[in-house]
Amino acid sequence: MSLAYDVLPAMFARPSHQQLSSALRQSQQNYEALVNSIEGIVWEADAQTLCFTFVSQQAERLLGYPVKRWIAEPTFWADHLHPADRDWAIQFCQAATRERRSHEFEYRMLAADGRVVWLRDIVRVVAEPDQPLKLRGVMVDVTERRQREWERDLLLKLSTAMRGARTRADMAPIILEHLHTEFNVHSAALALNQPAQDELTIELGLGTWAAWTGQSISARAPRLAHLSLPLTAQGQTLGALWLERSVPLTSAEANVLTALTDLVANALQRVTLHEQTELRLKRLAALYSIEMAITANLDLHSVLNLFLNEVLIHLGVDAADVLLFNPPEQTLEYVIGRGFQQAARFQALPAAVTLARQAVQELRLITLTASSATAEGIPTGDAARFHAEPFAAYYAAPLIAKGQINGVLEIFHRTPLRPDPDWLDFLQTLAGQAAIAIHNAALLYEQHRANADLAQAYNATIAGWSRALDLRDRETEGHAERVTDLTMRLARAIGLPEAELVHIYRGALLHDIGKIGISDNILLKPGPLTAEEWTLMRRHPVYAYELLAPIAYLRPALDIPYCHHERWDGTGYPRQLRGETIPLAARLFTLADVWDALRSDRPYRAGWPIERVRDHIRLGAGSHFDPALVEVFLQLMSDEK
């Protein structure tokens, strides 16, 4: 018992000041160790000034800044917010503090090494008696999740925005704006290769090198980081993206940029194909207008006046004229010209040697540029004319029809021209039409034969478009030619007149031209399409109508491109036509199209046996196909094996 009484005073004795201090230090150390072991940044700040009074060591590990800077610098947090988040984050925090409302929000901060770190900040407002209002919170790193969301949203936003672009000029500001806002770049540029030209549309230095080597390069300037990325699609380099900003790209940003450049390159290829197709359609319409003028037996001056209008518009040149060849005198005579500031100078043609005479003598296109004129000299006969106006490019195309030289088409431009092969081909085609017009003035019979040649050229052009579409989708290569041949056989079998067959032929070749408006990620998708993608895919007959309807001579051929997906029972698209409201040409073509599609191998299935295809066609009579045509078609295909 005495022992117990000896122990009691020690148990109830008050601890010394030294013991209390030691215990307090130990408690503080344990608290700091606990706080610093938390994955997020634990912090405390003055609610009015947003100045930090405590920050855990995790802040330095996560963002790279010493803890003492967080506390010593009054505006440290605001100064290191991402520029895009700074204003709203501060305002949001201040508003919540005024309302004494605890809150959570996500924002970006710039780490010491330039990384962008997404933080989820869980903030509590702390009010203690006789103490200033405080904020306490935990910042949690959510960069990985936000990065995935950002990547997905950026590519989706860019893809959606570019879907509405009809030309490369429309696409450029969309791309550059997304680069500026999403990657925090100081400047950005898009350089595009001109078709068949050894240069970019914009001189970029680093960008130029990257575009032609097909390699990505980056360099670090004293204050700015530069990056140049080639835009490559299907082995073809289309141009380059050039970026400049204050810090290098992170690996995550680099991965997104790689996906973005692939997306941009494929979209550029689609838009370029669309532009080229529209350009060719416009040129074809110009040829047709000239042909109609020739066929209408307008006087030669009226035809050539219309002709020169089309030359200036569709070749994009400043001036042009036509010279007629006088065989008995062996001279060239000025007939008509457009675009000259001193027209009188160009009407006076000397008998001396000229470039136009050289074109007649050598029966070939003659060209002259400002550089070649300086190096080789201008022929004496052209000196006065060329000195009258500062032309930098000249082309002389002999006008030859039926083996006879009829004159020369001269083209002039005041700045250098860098024509691609299509431009030169179109110039030669225009020259051929001018020659036809001149020849028609003398021989009506020769004009009719020339028109037949032009019609053949149109059909060859249409066939070329069809082959280009086949090359875009190699899974269906040769499909257009086969279904065209089969449709023509069926049309002849039911006795359609030859005058209608030419329109069926053109329509069959162009049946899928509307697919140039469908993006590659849908058209070439290896797996099944989504409902949204099917909606876009089913727009291709409408796109075909919009492309071909403005061309008068192709309107009779529109039935197949516009209606070949309609069904006899009205369940087709795009207009749900039923029965004989579906044009006959489309009903004929649908049988040939389905037959060839089922007989052909596809990556996702082998071609069907012929008997299975016959059964499918027979079962589709009255639902998919015109029942009256099914029997004729199956009889026609009875010998197929």
Q: 585 and 523, same structural domain?
A: yes
Q: How many CB atoms lie within 10 A of CB 6?
A: 9
* Per-residue pLDDT at 204: 39
3-state class (DSSP) for residue 618 = helix
Q: 331 and 186, same structural domain?
A: no
276 within some domain: no
Q: Is the dihedral of CA 603, 604, 609, 615 positive or negative?
A: negative
Q: 457 and 603, same structural domain?
A: yes
428 within some domain: yes
Strand arrangement of the beta sheet that strand 217-220 belongs to: 187-192, 236-245, 225-233, 217-220
Q: 535 and 432, same structural domain?
A: no
Q: How buried is residue 359: exposed, middle or buried, by Cβ count under 10 Å (0-12/13-18/19+)?
A: buried
* Per-residue pLDDT at 583: 95
Strand arrangement of the beta sheet that strand 393-401 belongs to: 331-338, 319-326, 404-413, 393-401, 366-369
Burial pattern 509-526, b for ≥16 Cβ within 10 A else e, equals: bbbbbbbbbbbbebbeee
Q: 427 and 410, same structural domain?
A: yes
404 within some domain: yes
Q: Which of 118, 191, 186 is nearest to 148 (CA)?
A: 118
* Per-residue pLDDT at 634: 93
289 within some domain: no
Instruction: Report, in angstroms and rounded to the nearest whole number, the Rg of the chain calculated over CA atoms.
Output: 38
Domain residue limits at 181: 147-269
Q: 63 and 5, same structural domain?
A: no
Q: 86 and 30, same structural domain?
A: no
Q: 474 and 368, same structural domain?
A: no
* Per-residue pLDDT at 345: 62
Report phi then psi at 513, rounded to 5.
-65, -25
Domain boundary (411, 439, 467) is at: 439
- The CATH number covering residue 61 comes to 3.30.450.20
Q: 72 and 86, same structural domain?
A: yes
Bond before 550 cis per omega within 30 degrees: no
Domain boundary (439, 471, 496) is at: 439
Angle among Cα 304, 310, 546 to the nearest 5 degrees reads 135
Can you say whether residue 570 is alpha, beta or left, with left for phi > 0 and alpha for psi between -120 and 50 degrees? left
- Amino acid (1-letter code) at residue 575: R
- The CATH number covering residue 543 comes to 1.10.3210.10
Mean per-residue pLDDT pooled into runs of 10, the chain (641 residues)? 47 55 55 61 90 91 93 93 91 89 91 90 88 90 86 79 74 76 74 55 37 43 63 78 74 77 80 74 74 70 83 87 84 86 66 78 85 59 73 89 87 86 85 80 51 58 62 63 91 92 89 83 79 88 88 86 94 94 95 91 79 93 94 88 68
Q: Which of 465, 463, 436 is nearest to 448 (CA)?
A: 436
Q: How many domains does the chain have?
A: 5
274 within some domain: no
Domain boundary (372, 407, 439) is at: 439
290 within some domain: no
Contact (Cβ atoms closer than 8 angstroms) between residue 599 and residue 610: yes
Q: 200 and 98, same structural domain?
A: no
Q: How many CB atoms lie within 10 A of CB 161?
A: 16
Q: 176 and 95, same structural domain?
A: no
Burial pattern 268-297, b for ≥16 Cβ within 10 A else e, equals: bbbbbbbbbbeebbebbbbbbbbbebbeee
3-state class (DSSP) for residue 350 = coil
Return all residues near 432 (Cβ < 8 A) that are at least 6 apart.
399, 400, 401
281 within some domain: no
Q: 407 and 458, same structural domain?
A: no
Contact (Cβ atoms closer than 8 angstroms) between residue 256 and residue 283: no
191 within some domain: yes
Which H or E element spans position 213? helix 206-213
